[in-house]
Amino acid sequence: EAEVAQSPRYKITEKSQAVAFWCDPISGHATLYWYRQILGQGPELLVQFQDESVVDDSQLPKDRFSAERLKGVDSTLKIQPAELGDSAMYLCASSPNTGITGELFFGEGSRLTVL
C-alpha cells in the first residue's frame, strides 16, 4: 500500500540551529501539505502545495520557516534558526485531488525537540 514517507522520525536540536524535514508523498498526489501538531492539539496547516506551487502559506512563520517542492514531487521544510517553541510533531500529508473532498493521507511525522 502506498504511503507518505517522512524523515527523520525524530530530531533533537539546540535552539538557533537549522533543521530540515523531508517528505515524499504518495505517487501521483498533486497536493502536499505540511502541518504542525503541538502536543494535545490538532494539526495546524503551515503550507500547502499544488504541484510545485504554494497555494496557502498564510500560517507559515516566514522569518524562520521555508518550504519547497521544486519538482512537484517531494518536499522539504526548513527551520532556521530553531526556537524552543518549535518543538512539535511535523506532519506531511498528500491528497490526490485539489482538496475538494479534504481527504488527506499522512506520513508518520517528524518529532522535533528543541533544547
Partner 1 sequence: TQLLEQSPQFLSIQEGENLTVYCNSSSVFSSLQWYRQEPGEGPVLLVTVVTGGEVKKLKRLTFQFGDARKDSSLHITAAQPGDTGLYLCAGAKAGGFKTIFGAGTRLFVKA
Which residues here bind partner 1, judged by CB under 8 A?
A: 4, 31, 33, 35, 40-45, 48, 50, 55-56, 91, 93, 98-109, 111
State in angstroms the smallest separation of the CB of 58 from partner 1: 9
Q: Rounded to whole angstroms, how far apart are CA atoms 5 and 84?
A: 26
| Complex with partner 1: residue 37 or 81, whichever CB lies closer | 37
| Complex with partner 1: residue 3 or 83, whichever CB lies closer | 3
Q: Rounded to whole angstroms, how far apart are CA atoms 61 and 31?
A: 21
Instruction: Give the three cell numbers for residue 76.
Output: 522539504
| Complex with partner 1: residue 27 or 101, whichever CB lies closer | 101
Q: Rounded to whole angstroms, how far apart are CA atoms 7 and 18?
A: 15
